[in-house]
Chain A
Amino acid sequence: MPAVSKGDGMRGLAVFISDIRNCKSKEAEIKRINKELANIRSKFKGDKALDGYSKKKYVCKLLFIFLLGHDIDFGHMEAVNLLSSNRYTEKQIGYLFISVLVNSNSELIRLINNAIKNDLASRNPTFMGLALHCIANVGSREMAEAFAGEIPKILVAGDTMDSVKQSAALCLLRLYRTSPDLVPMGDWTSRVVHLLNDQHLGVVTAATSLITTLAQKNPEEFKTSVSLAVSRLSRIVTSASTDLQDYTYYFVPAPWLSVKLLRLLQCYPPPEDPAVRGRLTECLETILNKAQEPPKSKKVQHSNAKNAVLFEAISLIIHHDSEPNLLVRACNQLGQFLQHRETNLRYLALESMCTLASSEFSHEAVKTHIETVINALKTERDVSVRQRAVDLLYAMCDRSNAQQIVAEMLNYLETADYSIREEIVLKVAILAEKYAVDYTWYVDTILNLIRIAGDYVSEEVWYRVIQIVINRDDVQGYAAKTVFEALQAPACHENLVKVGGYILGEFGNLIAGDPRSSPLIQFNLLHSKFHLCSVPTRALLLSTYIKFVNLFPEIKTTIQDVLRSDSQLKNADVELQQRAVEYLRLSTIASTDILATVLEEMPPFPERESSILAKLKKKKGPGTVTDLEEIKKERSSDMNGSAEPASVNASAVSTPSPSADLLGLGAAPLTNSAPPPSSSGSLLVDVFSDSASAVAPLAPGSDDNFASPDLASSEVVSEEPADTVHDADELFHKFVCKNNGVLFENQLLQIGLKSEFRQNLGRMFIFYGNKTSTQFLNFTPTVICSDDLQPSLNLQTKPVDPTVDGGAQVQQVVNIECVSDFMEAPILNIQFSPKQEVQNIFKAKHPMDAEITKAKIIGFGSALLEEVDPNPANFVGAGIIHTKTTQIGCLLRLEPNLQAQMYRLTLRTSKEAVSQRLCELLSEQF
């Protein structure tokens, strides 16, 4: 049991707390608490009115239970009742409960505000104090609305007690911080400033806090506070250590007030009035002098209070940044602290020096401590202190010491605490870029960063190194050579693979002359890492491969083989699959010239603020880094700051937008604008998209009367009679006035024509391009002359290879002899079956009910994919057939034609026989 308390002790509360402490388990504690809650509830609900003491005791128990971490959902009303008690201890508990358990219940807030209003008007200083504390503790908007007008009056009224003034000043400060719009500026502000002259140091202390915050937002209005603060400070600093009696703290006169006054002065530039300025300089010198005096006490409280004032004075000196003498003295003082045995002082000295380093007057003085700081980085046992040392090294870095500092930071990074690694990485990256005299050092540094702390190297860092290499042609060859060597390591970080992949893709040609880094070796090296990498990195590598096709035509087939392999073309990841398909296609159809244009070297990136710096700012919060950077910029002409002209030479490869995604590695594929039209829809739609047009009516034959002695008309009919080409007519007309062009194109196939005629003879080249990634089998194009036409037109066609590879093109030559004039055009009939795909068209055997059909598809074991088909009436399903030896992926699409009461079923699996069988099985079901 505690000693019997002074005042109105609550025995029941003490017993309850004892009980709780004696509970052996969490369960026992909860049981005891529930019992107590039930008891209190019944007391509050009981018929008998509770006396003030009991009410206070129970409210206090509830508060205790709440502070143990349990929810309290009653008792608020009783607490509010206590507010209107005339007994101080009861009122006090009421206010405490309200302060801790604020409730947004508006009814209650009204009652609370009422009670506060009464107490503020009571003229009883202790009651007024309680009310003000409550407002300050809750600090809600409702309270600000109710009292923000009233409190300034209390604050400046002549007859207000000192203790109430103090509470009122800080209460107003709290309201101003939470709801500045509700605190009206007015006459009272000038009178508040004069509280700095108040006789009562407690009042001055509280008022200084308020004035400082107000002055930050309204400097003009509180300008007069400067001279008052200086004279107040002067009086304190020059006073004997006993003058201020109770406000002297361990032989230091009024340290709190001193620090607050020094803070207030940091809201303003150095005083303009020379007298005031002189007086302030004297104060600051006195404070610096006192630091050299022997301590008046061995107690840590004495040195803490004294040094607290000293550090605040140094902050003001740095803030003014105008007295070189004071700045150098401050720096020397901090230098002493750097070696102090007190860890706290070393910490604070490092921190203060950071800001000192950015002043032009003291930057050089700070730099002289570099060895001590590096030593701190190596030997300090406290991570907080090491962190400050890193900050200071960063701040004191300039061209003269950048190599040393970066080397030390890299050194430290090997053993650095995980919590600060990312920040160190960012700092090293920034310094290396900013102070790079030659960029080989920069490239080496960043690659070292990746080697030492690859996991902490964020995207911004490796984007940046690539930007810089691209923008500076003097370093490109070195960069290519260096990444090539770094990639030799058996285990290298994925970030290195990204940087290496990108740089070799752009500049691999610069080192390809060396037989040790021939194109094939470069490719094999990168590809050996491919399978260990994540999807985004693999996507990047695929882009590198297509760039290699352009840079090194001699390894084109090797790369095509890789792109063509199942693991690429059928990759489960849509992005990778799409890249493989598109790049393979690009490498197949594009001429050397087109390739060279599309895959041209990246244009220089427009210069802008390093994204790394932005990231560091975000990490550190605004303020610290910004200041440092701005000042640094002035001092050193920034090597990379001078913007190279932003390129307008936008190549076909997507030029990165100036926003985040520097390398276009985000969702959008790198070659968005590359020739093959990329349907960015889902995989399934892609696979089947050719048949999406099947709903269109059958194309009319060539019914126009068209007499041209030397032109073969064509109509394309694919293997399915129902399948059709709606725009063939239109394209057909193109050939009236020219001989070359595209005759037909859909998602599967492109047909191009090139023809030449001499008198009655002609030769026509028909190009068939397979636009899919899979082979066409049984590809048989035939040109047919109708019986009527035959006497007039003589055609000879050569057969073509019946298999057309995915992405490949075949050519057919037609020799033409015009015997006599004719009207009708011959017909071009093309038949092929896309590999692995089987289709069947059949009459509906059951009523065509969508829900039943869905149920059947699901019942068949495949997943029903909604909203992937552009035609909502179609059904699309996907599934996998598991066998012991293999897994077979299956895609199916069922297209109903309600009018015709027909279905078209398309099955596509990774095995043709399976497609066939599934198609047979399912065709019976609908």
Chain B
Amino acid sequence: MIHFILLFSRQGKLRLQKWYTTLPDKEKKKIVREIVQIVLARHQKTSSFVDWKDLKLVYKRYASLYFCCAIEDQDNELLTLEVVHRYVELLDRYFGNVCELDIIFNFEKAYFILDEFIIGGEVQDTSKRSAVKAIEDSDMLQETVEEYMNKPAF
């Protein structure tokens, strides 16, 4: 199973964190710091895998954003890379050409999409259609720019 997924920028800014095991906040912060440091220090052209404690980190960079999963020893590394890719595709499909800013400003949507794809550290459904459908269902109501701008700015 996946123990956690982290999204962070090349500058080391954490953009999204999803934990599938229960840990105290302090511990989480420590782990994030450690892992961001490890992954950012890796050279290009190295493998996408790093041993980390009892787990294995599988990471990949998309533009300015690193996606990093911590998996168990017996988990399939290559397929974890494709879990990341499928998640990027799902974000792309929802936002349309997703970029880091989309994830910053719509972090809650990024979480919702992830929840539809992975539960408890296991892939729930690999079909693009079913995963995004649930989110899109909720977005049936389409706002116009005018309606949006009429909302309070605080």
A residues neighboring B (CB under 8 Å): 2-12, 14-17, 21, 39, 60, 63-64, 67, 69, 88-89, 92-93, 96, 102, 126, 129, 132-133, 136-137, 139-140, 163, 166-167, 170-171, 173-174, 177-178, 201-202, 205-206, 209, 246-247, 249, 254-257, 259, 263, 301, 304-305, 307-308, 311-312, 315, 343-344, 346-348, 381-382, 384-385, 387, 621, 623
Contact = CB atoms under 8 A, between A and B. Distances in A.
B129 A246 contact: yes
B120 A163 contact: no
B22 A178 contact: yes
Given A67-B17, A178-B22, A344 B47 contact: yes
A11 B74 contact: no
Contacts of B79: 255-256, 259, 304-305, 308
Interface in B102-141: 102, 104-109, 111-112, 115, 119-130, 134, 136-141
The 3 closest A-B pairs by CB, nearest first: A174-B120, A7-B139, A202-B125
16 contacts: A5-B109, A6-B136, A9-B151, A10-B151, A21-B104, A69-B29, A126-B137, A202-B126, A246-B130, A249-B82, A256-B123, A311-B76, A344-B78, A381-B43, A382-B47, A385-B47
A93 B46 contact: no
A96 B54 contact: no
Contacts of B140: 7
B49 A347 contact: yes
Contacts of B108: 60, 63, 92-93, 96
Contact of B46 (A247, A259, A348, A384): A384
Contacts of A170: 119-120, 122, 124
Contacts of A126: 134, 137-138
Contact of A166 (B14, B45, B104, B124): B124
A263 B121 CA distance: 16
Nearest to A7: B139
A63 B110 CA distance: 13
B107 A348 contact: no
Contact of A348 (B78, B111, B145): B78
A640 to B, nearest CB: 30
A8 B148 CA distance: 8
Contacts of A17: 104-105
Contacts of A202: 124-127, 130
Contacts of A304: 78-79, 81-82
Contact of B85 (A60, A102, A256, A301): A301
Contacts of B123: 205-206, 209, 256
A63 B108 CA distance: 9
Contact of A133 (B22, B54, B115, B130): B115
Contacts of B137: 88, 126
Given A17-B105, A93-B108, A621 B54 contact: yes
B78 A11 contact: no
Contacts of A21: 104
Nearest to A208: B122
Nearest to A202: B125
Given A12-B154, A202-B125, A308 B149 contact: no
A534 B70 CA distance: 41
B14 to A, nearest CB: 8
A426 to B, nearest CB: 16
B85 A11 contact: no
Given A205-B126, A206-B124, A247-B127, A140 B22 contact: yes
B153 interface: yes
B51 interface: yes
A649 B47 CA distance: 56
Nearest to A419: B51
A205 B45 contact: no
A173 B50 CA distance: 27
B145 to A, nearest CB: 5
B9 interface: no
A775 to B, nearest CB: 60
Contacts of A129: 134
A473 to B, nearest CB: 42
A89 B85 CA distance: 26
B34 interface: no
Given A126-B138, A304-B82, A308-B82, A166 B125 contact: yes
Contacts of A205: 123-126
Given A129-B134, A205-B125, A136 B120 contact: yes
A344 B48 CA distance: 6
A174 B118 CA distance: 12
B66 to A, nearest CB: 16
Given A14-B105, A344-B77, A173 B122 contact: yes
A133 B119 contact: yes
Contacts of B149: 11
A249 B36 CA distance: 30
Contacts of A623: 73
A2 B105 contact: yes
A6 B142 contact: yes
A15 B154 contact: yes
Contacts of B141: 7-8
Contacts of B81: 304, 344
A504 B80 CA distance: 56
B101 interface: yes
Contacts of B134: 126, 129, 163
Contacts of B43: 381-382
A201 B47 CA distance: 31
B128 A246 contact: yes
A418 to B, nearest CB: 14
A136 B119 contact: yes
B122 A301 contact: no
Nearest to B48: A344
Contacts of A348: 77-78
Given A133-B119, A170-B119, A305 B51 contact: no
B121 to A, nearest CB: 8
A254 B102 contact: no
B125 to A, nearest CB: 4
B112 A96 contact: yes
Given A174-B120, A348-B78, A206 B125 contact: yes
B27 interface: no
Contacts of B85: 301
A4 B143 contact: yes
A139 B120 contact: yes
Contacts of A249: 82, 86, 126
Given A96-B108, A256-B79, A384 B49 contact: yes
A4 B105 contact: no
A202 to B, nearest CB: 4
Given A64-B107, A126-B134, A387-B51, A12 B77 contact: no
A6 B139 contact: yes
Given A9-B143, A12-B153, A163-B130, A259 B124 contact: no
Contacts of B20: 174
A344 B47 CA distance: 5
A166 B122 CA distance: 11
Contact of B119 (A9, A15, A171, A254): A171
A254 B126 contact: yes
Nearest to A254: B126
A881 B101 CA distance: 70
Given A167-B124, A173-B120, A7 B47 contact: no
Given A249-B82, A304-B78, A344-B49, A11 B148 contact: yes
A174 B19 CA distance: 12
B46 A343 contact: yes
A757 B47 CA distance: 93
A268 to B, nearest CB: 15
Contacts of B86: 249
B20 to A, nearest CB: 8
A11 B153 contact: yes
Indicate the member of A69, A96, A384 with the most B CB atoms within 10 Å.
Answer: A384
Contacts of A301: 82, 85
Contact of A255 (B82, B102, B139): B82
